[in-house]
Structure 1
Amino acid sequence: MPTPVSPRISQVRHVPIEKLLKPVERGSFPMDGFDDDFGDIVDYIFKITHWIWADRAVGQIYDYYAENCTVYTGFDVTRSVEDVVTGTLSMLQSFPDREMDFINVAWSGDPKEGYYTSHLGFSRMTNLGPSSYGPTTGRASRFFTIADCVSRDNQIFLEWLIRDNGAVAKQLGVDIHELARRLAQDDARQGRKPWFADTLESLPAVRSPRQPAPLDRPKKSLEDRLRHTLHDAWNRRLLNVLHDFYDPDVVGHLAGGREIAGKDGLIYHYVQLLAAIPDAEFSFDHYCDVVETDGVLAAVRWSITGHHRGDGLFGAPSGKPVYVLGMSHFRFEGENVVEEWTLYDELSILRQIYAEPATADGEE
């Protein structure tokens, strides 16, 4: 398997925070437009995240997010730095002891068009205030997040963010279906739609009865291999390709706080999603990678569209159109994936499933 070739860059896996916080010499890594405090783009994304969340320097969001930055989640979209500040303060009000470990950072791009980073974090926190999940519970939660950010001239101007809300809800003792129903009712009253509403409205009612063709592209790079494998597994339903993709002892960290050991369990997760959304169409939306301390990491942002017409992960079939924003990190040793992190927001999917027509209060 070809190893990605890139300039020398900071590594974060199994590296102590004290070391990551030390100054990094910029060297040959191009960081035009960024402060001299940052040696490379991984150094930048780690330090600003640490300062904002660990040091509680929330006001530095104004320094490192563009005024009109756009942030997409599994349902909502915000379009200003004020929204980022408000969301951060709201999270800290509900979970004031939140701590986060940096697990992975993959990257691509350049300073002119913008650097793309995909960073995976693991958070520990206690619910000590009312939150979007409901009243204070006093319970602890442990969960993964992935934030894909695009940065230029020392500021993030575009972001896709997935928090494992399914895991958080379960650990807080919240019925995620009841929570999704309540949010869907609020959406109907306020006439609020997801940012991908136009995509849902244009979905064909029936999937083509013909199996999609193989991808017409080479298989030279790691990105090529991932594109072929995921297209074959998701769109062509050829799950057999996954047997050569995963190491027999692969470990998976999946949405909903699911921990999987072995490739059979990971392949079953594909089956569960495809059974719940039988006409699922998978889109490979972005790729980046990095050479880390213990292998090559590849990060993929992806999406699935289709109709909830099957039993399984999301309850009894509803027939509703759904959009799944997903992100995956794959850690390779040699030719095979030995560890995977895959996140999507179960709460956002259920919110679509329980969606109601707009009420009079929400009509324009």
Structure 2
Amino acid sequence: MNATSLGLPERPRATRVRHVAVEDLVAQRPDTGFPMKGFQPGHADIVDWIFKITHKIWAERAVGTIHDTYDHACPVYAGADFSRGAEEVVAGTLATLSAFDRDSRFLNVAWSEDADGFYTSHLGASTVTHIGPNAWGPATGRRARFLTCADCVSRDGRIHTEWLIRDNGAAVTGLGFDIHEVAERLARADAAAGRKPWFIGLPRRAYGQANPGPLDRPEGPGIEDRLAHLLHDVFNRRRIDALARLYAENVHVHMAGGREIMGRQALGDFWISFLAAFPDAAFSLDHFCWSEETDGVILAVRWGIRAHHRGHGPWGAPTGRPVYVLGMSHYRLDEAARIVEEWTLFDELAILRQTKAPG
């Protein structure tokens, strides 16, 4: 199963990262003719570029190269935080390196190109040791493993917009902290400092008392349309049974919070528990991109959910507080165009910071 058979457009082949050793990814690659107008020479394609600048910043600790690869006013949107500009990216990177001895590897990179430049969604796995104090508490010396995903818009050799998710639910609990206590403390600090969420708006599933209808776009045979309709049906129409349209029965899902979910039935159970906690949840699919990788096509979506915390579930007793969930999902397809592996990230600490906000 290749990309064109899934209704995806033809485009130049880019570097593949899945199951490729870091040493091979760091190595110089020959010029493939991939169109990289405005980017520094020496990069084979956009995937090669995003990998190498990330590796240089984090693995080689060349933190100052952020000034060379980020726009000076680049906005960065995270689960509950917002920053603007390369200098704030530098500060955040130094804070993370001070708190964690970190080893990371790329899992997937999906990408697209349009008039705004290149869009990349790069998913990675990190194993860290907590060696210094941070906002969660003093160094514990413990180790934790978690996933991160960064979606970036890049043009002329610089990142101009970034959305970033670190699975803080898995990280905080893995390091031995009580995530509810940490979230409550951070929520009080947010209120004391007058920090407001970067997102606005309340959920609107349907006008008046109308039932949520089908997605307002044609459903063609291509995989992008099929995935968009499936996600709308599952989350906005509460048709959990729609998972069977694309998911293999034995799908393996790496879910936020470090959860490992095996099977389509168990995945449906998880989303039922999520929607029970946020019963007025309104879902939006905000970006789609893809890649052809070593073991199948990878689809990647950035999405958002607006809701009120009005039900019981993994995030505690209902508080009625409004919540925004920034999410990113990667899907690996098999030869039958079924989803056989999924990585879905959202920041549970960010959710709890909102549900525990004073007042």
Matched, 1:186 2:189: yes
One-letter amino acid of the counterpart of residue 37, structure 1: G
RMSD: 1.5
Aligned partners of 1:116 and 1:217: how far apart in 2?
A: 24
Change over 3 Å in CA distance of 1:124–1:151 after alignment to 2? same
Aligned counterpart, 1:248: 249
Secondary structure class of the residue paired with 1:268:
helix
Sequence identity percentage: 54
Q: 2:60 aligns with which of 44, 55, 58?
A: 55
Matched, 1:211 2:214: no
Aligned counterpart, 1:271: 272
Aligned partners of 1:329 and 1:210: how far apart in 2?
A: 32
CA contact (8 A) 1:324 1:344 kept: yes
Aligned partners of 1:220 and 1:292: how far apart in 2?
A: 22
Secondary structure class of the residue paired with 1:232:
helix
Report 1:107-146 matches (<5 A): 107-110=111-114, 113-146=116-149
CA contact (8 A) 1:207 1:279 kept: no
Secondary structure class of the residue paired with 1:100:
strand
CA contact (8 A) 1:124 1:140 kept: yes
One-letter amino acid of the counterpart of residue 210, structure 1: A
One-letter amino acid of the counterpart of residue 211, structure 1: N
Structure 2: runs of 5 or more not aligned:
none
TM-score (norm 2): 0.95
Aligned partners of 2:175 and 2:32: how far apart in 1?
A: 46
One-letter amino acid of the counterpart of residue 98, structure 1: R
Aligned counterpart, 1:342: 344
CA contact (8 A) 2:119 2:152 kept: yes
Change over 3 Å in CA distance of 1:2–1:320 after alignment to 2? same
Secondary structure class of the residue paired with 2:201:
helix
One-letter amino acid of the counterpart of residue 108, structure 2: N
Aligned counterpart, 2:326: 325
One-letter amino acid of the counterpart of residue 130, structure 2: N
Post-superposition offset of 1:270: 1.1
CA contact (8 A) 1:98 1:123 kept: yes
Aligned partners of 1:54 and 1:235: how far apart in 2?
A: 41
Report 1:19-30 matches (<5 A): 19-30=24-35
One-letter amino acid of the counterpart of residue 243, structure 2: L
Q: 1:150 aligns with which of 153, 157, 162?
A: 153
CA contact (8 A) 2:205 2:282 kept: no
* Residues 202-223 of structure 1 deviation map (CA, whole Å, 9 limit, x = unaligned): x469985432111231322211
* Residues 242-283 of structure 1 deviation map (CA, whole Å, 9 limit, x = unaligned): 023211221110000001111111111211111110011100
Post-superposition offset of 1:14: 0.7
Post-superposition offset of 1:3: 5.4
Secondary structure class of the residue paired with 2:71:
strand
Aligned counterpart, 2:232: 231
Change over 3 Å in CA distance of 1:238–1:219 after alignment to 2? same
CA contact (8 A) 1:281 1:305 kept: yes
CA contact (8 A) 2:282 2:305 kept: yes
Change over 3 Å in CA distance of 1:27–1:325 after alignment to 2? same
CA contact (8 A) 1:206 1:279 kept: no
Structure 1: runs of 5 or more not aligned:
358-364
* Residues 8-33 of structure 1 deviation map (CA, whole Å, 9 limit, x = unaligned): 11100011111111222332321000
One-letter amino acid of the counterpart of residue 162, structure 2: E
Change over 3 Å in CA distance of 1:318–1:193 after alignment to 2? same
Secondary structure class of the residue paired with 1:66:
coil
Aligned partners of 1:24 and 1:90: how far apart in 2?
A: 32
TM-score (norm 1): 0.94
Aligned partners of 2:348 and 2:210: how far apart in 1?
A: 29
Change over 3 Å in CA distance of 1:168–1:192 after alignment to 2? same
One-letter amino acid of the counterpart of residue 107, structure 2: I
* Residues 62-93 of structure 1 deviation map (CA, whole Å, 9 limit, x = unaligned): 11111111100011111111100000000011
